[in-house]
């Protein structure tokens, strides 16, 4: 099970997609691609890998797919300071969403 | 060695306080299968995950609407109790800002752990195969991200 997670994280661009998503709390492939030096299509592929590893959650909203980080999945496998910072970003973003509901 | 993150929230401190200190909410944004909390210094905080088990925390500070802190084993840990050598300190502070609230979290004490967080996770999961090598890869990427 952890193999999938590490494989998913073992790519610098994918790691950036994940950290950017954690900071945003929620985002679409289009908005993420706007801040990364890769195409929207590439971001979609990376999000697909992260999704299959259980690291992000996809939610359809009209014509868009919105993604959020699943910090519990990351926390169970990658106990590293940077990973912990990403977890906290995702948790704070979750608190913000709940608080502003 | 510590991690410090913060976020601006368009909601009053009272609302944010509820989210970070009430079991019903902690079970949603932190754990995924519920939580229990005895909200007082020395009280217990328990968080449950469907796949990863239980984490126990011990509450340190409770200042309503301002500060909340606890020590926990920084990994879902099969119910291991937090002690000085296996736990980190998580401190939340709430400050009114721009009509809302600035929520800051500091997690500290990683350097005082008997084992690294990875070591604790490894011990907990009992899964040593390939872990160190993979974590080495991860640290490399993490360093790039941090740069």
Q: What is the pLDDT of residues B108-137, one digit of tens each?
A: 877 666 655 555 555 444 433 333 344 344
A–B CB contacts, 8 A cutoff, strictly below: 115
B5·A10 Cβ contact <8 A:
no
Q: Is the dihedral of CA B31, A90, B76, A14 positive or negative?
A: positive
Instruction: Give the best residue of B75, B138, B146 to mutate against chain A (max A CB count within 10 A).
Output: B138
**Average pLDDT for residues A20-31, to the nearest whole number?**
90
Inform me whether the C-beta atom of residue A7 falls under 8 Å from chain B C-beta atoms. Answer: no
Phi, psi of B53 (to 5 degrees): 90, -145
Tokens read off for A72:
């519990």
Domain ranges, ordered by start, for chain A? 3-100
Show the CA angle centred on residue A72, arms to residues B32 and B48, nearest 5°. Answer: 40
Spatial separation of the C-alpha atoms in residues B27 and A89, rounded to whole Å: 17
Q: How far is B60 from chain A (nearest CA, A)?
A: 19
Q: What is the pLDDT of residues A26-64, one digit of tens each?
A: 899 999 999 999 999 999 999 999 998 888 999 998 888
Tokens read off for A3:
């193999």
A92·B134 Cβ contact <8 A:
no
DSSP per-residue letters across B43-81: -EEEEEETTTEEEEEEEEEEETTTEEEEEE-SS--TTPP
User: Does position A71 have pLDDT exceeding 80, yes or no?
Assistant: no
Q: Where does the pLDDT of residue B75 fall: very low under 50, low under 70, confident under 90, or very high at 90 and above?
A: low
On whether the CB atoms of residues B89 and B69 are closer than 8 A, the answer is yes
User: Does position A68 have pLDDT exceeding 60, yes or no?
Assistant: yes
Please, is A89 exposed, middle or buried when counting C-beta atoms within 10 Å of its C-beta (0-12, 13-18, 19+)? Answer: buried
Per-window interface: B 111-140 vs A, CB < 8 A: 116-118, 120-121, 125, 127, 130-131, 134-135, 137-139
Lowest mean pLDDT among A87-91, B3-7, B115-119, B126-130: B126-130
User: Does position A90 have pLDDT exceeding 80, yes or no?
Assistant: yes
Q: Which CATH entry fits the domain spanning A3-100: 3.40.50.2300, 3.40.50.9100, 1.10.1740.10, 1.10.10.10?
A: 1.10.10.10
Q: What is the mean pLDDT of chain A?
A: 83
Angle between helices A40-52 and A12-24 (to 10 degrees): 80
Lowest mean pLDDT among A72-81, A86-95, B69-78: A72-81
Strand partners for B58: B44, B71
Q: How far is A47 from chain B (nearest CA, A)?
A: 18
Show the CA angle centred on residue B74, arms to residues B72 and B76, nearest 5°. Answer: 95
Query: What ipTM was reported for this prediction?
Result: 0.71
Which residue blocks in B30-130 are alpha helix, DSSP H?
117-125
On whether the CB atoms of residues A86 and A100 are closer than 8 A, the answer is no
User: Does position B54 have pLDDT exceeding 60, yes or no?
Assistant: yes
Tokens read off for A78:
């990658």
């Amino acid at each position: 099970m952890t193999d999938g997670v590490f494989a998913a994280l073992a790519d610098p661009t994918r790691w950036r997609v994940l950290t950017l998503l954690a900071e945003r709390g929620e985002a679409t492939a289009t908005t993420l691609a706007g801040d990364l030096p890769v195409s929207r299509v590439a971001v979609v592929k990376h999000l697909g890998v992260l999704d299959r590893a259980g690291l992000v959650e996809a939610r359809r909203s009209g014509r868009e797919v919105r993604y959020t980080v699943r910090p519990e999945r990351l926390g169970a496998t990658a106990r590293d300071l940077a990973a912990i910072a990403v977890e906290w970003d995702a948790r704070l973003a979750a608190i913000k969403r709940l608080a502003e509901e | 060695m510590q991690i410090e993150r913060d976020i601006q929230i368009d909601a009053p401190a009272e609302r944010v306080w509820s989210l970070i200190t009430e079991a019903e909410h902690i079970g949603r944004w932190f754990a995924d299968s519920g939580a229990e909390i005895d909200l007082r210094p020395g009280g217990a905080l328990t968080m449950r995950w469907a796949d990863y088990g239980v984490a126990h925390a011990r509450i340190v500070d409770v200042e309503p609407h301002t500060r909340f802190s606890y020590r926990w084993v920084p990994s879902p840990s099969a119910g291991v109790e937090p002690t000085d050598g296996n736990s980190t300190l998580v401190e939340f502070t709430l400050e009114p800002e721009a009509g809302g609230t600035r929520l800051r979290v500091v997690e500290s004490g990683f350097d005082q752990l008997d084992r690294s967080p990875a070591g604790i996770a490894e011990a907990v999961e009992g899964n040593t195969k390939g872990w160190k090598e993979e974590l080495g890869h991860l640290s490399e990427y993490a360093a790039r991200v941090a740069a």
